[in-house]
Amino acid sequence: MKKVLKNVFYIVLEICMIFSIIYIFKYCYDMYSARKQSNLLNEISIDNTSFENITNNDNNVLNNENIQNSKNEEDVVEDLKNERMLKVEKLQEENSEIVGWVEIEGTNINYPVLQASDNSYYLTHNYQKKYSKSGAIFLDKDYVWNPPSSNLLMYGHDRLFKDIIKYKDESFYTKHPNIRFTTNEDDSNYEIIAAFYSRVYYTNEKNVFRYYYFVNAKNEKEYNDFVSNAKKASRYDTGKTAKYGDQLITLSTCSYHTKDGRFAVVAKKVLK
């Protein structure tokens, strides 16, 4: 009997070890995929033809009398696509749901941003639409591009967005005050105005700040209320704010300070 129990014990132990190895392998593979994803933009090469086409287009535009009357040469150059925007455009050939690229210099945040018809798909799929526990960074499904909604609300698991939580410390913010977001049409910096802990609130809770519902302001008051509440919730005063009409970006990830905890960073677009 003792021998049988001993054999059962060893069998169970071996099964547990096998499952542990599989879990560790999957976790390591997810982390490898995340690191590979963050370096994706650097690996994309733009051929000379793309730049030649841009130069030709530039010459055509500068020769257009109507545009010359409405824009100076510097404005025209700003309208052209830079290399980073062209790389995003090339990425979209692989997956049309890639809408841009988000980066915070000096952090691990350097990823493509996806947008699907629901907010669940990219919780469990990467930018190649392959299953992944790390998922991908994705833009809220309700964001409209034309005319643009008020707030680029982006979500990501803490495996990808882990450095977001470092904004709990003002010293980290001081070193990393800007978010860069690039689409195939625009490449802009956003200055951070607030960073705060939050959570997913129950439906019966009143007078709480549900930042994760704010995508498009219905009016000036709703916009100003969001900015005011974000500033009040912020762990420190960045000395920055936003006014009605400024484009906002919000990065949101899970936090384990409480049940269903969240951490968010809100920033406004810096006009060129």
Mapping DSSP to helix (H, G, I), strand (E, B) and coil, where does residue 209 land? coil
Question: Predicted confidence band at 30 (pLDDT cuts at 50, 70, 90)?
Answer: low
Which one has a higher pLDDT value, 202 or 42?
Answer: 202
For residue 51, pLDDT beyond 70: no
- Return the pLDDT at 61: 43
DSSP assignment of 125-181 equals B-TTS-B-TT--EEE-TT--BTTBPSEEEEE--HHHHGGGGGGGSHHHHHH--EEEE
> Over the range 37-63, which residues count as b (16 or more CB within 10 Å of their CB) and which as e?
bbebbeeeebeeebeeebeeeeeebee
- Return the pLDDT at 5: 64
Distance CA 263, CA 102 (A): 17
Q: Which domains does the chain have, with CATH numbers?
A: 97-272 (2.40.260.10)
Lowest mean pLDDT among 47-56, 136-145, 237-246: 47-56
Question: Predicted confidence band at 145 (pLDDT cuts at 50, 70, 90)?
Answer: very high
As a dihedral over the C-alpha atoms of residue 253, residue 241, residue 104, residue 212, rounded to 10 degrees, the angle is 20
Question: And the tokens for 67?
Answer: 């545009």
For residue 155, pLDDT beyond 60: yes
- Return the pLDDT at 194: 98
* pLDDT tens for each residue of 203-223: 999 999 999 999 999 999 999
Give the distance from CA 192 to its chain's centroid.
14
- Return the pLDDT at 46: 73
- Return the pLDDT at 77: 42
* Four-residue CA torsion sign, 77, 78, 81, 84: positive
Do the beta carbons of residue 103 and residue 60 sit within 8 Å? no
- Return the pLDDT at 8: 64
Cα-Cα end-to-end distance for the chain: 79
* pLDDT tens for each residue of 220-233: 999 999 999 999 99
* pLDDT tens for each residue of 245-269: 999 999 999 999 999 999 999 999 9
- Return the pLDDT at 44: 79
Mean of the per-residue pLDDT values for the chain? 84
Helix and strand numbers (H, E) in the chain are 9, 8
- Return the pLDDT at 133: 87
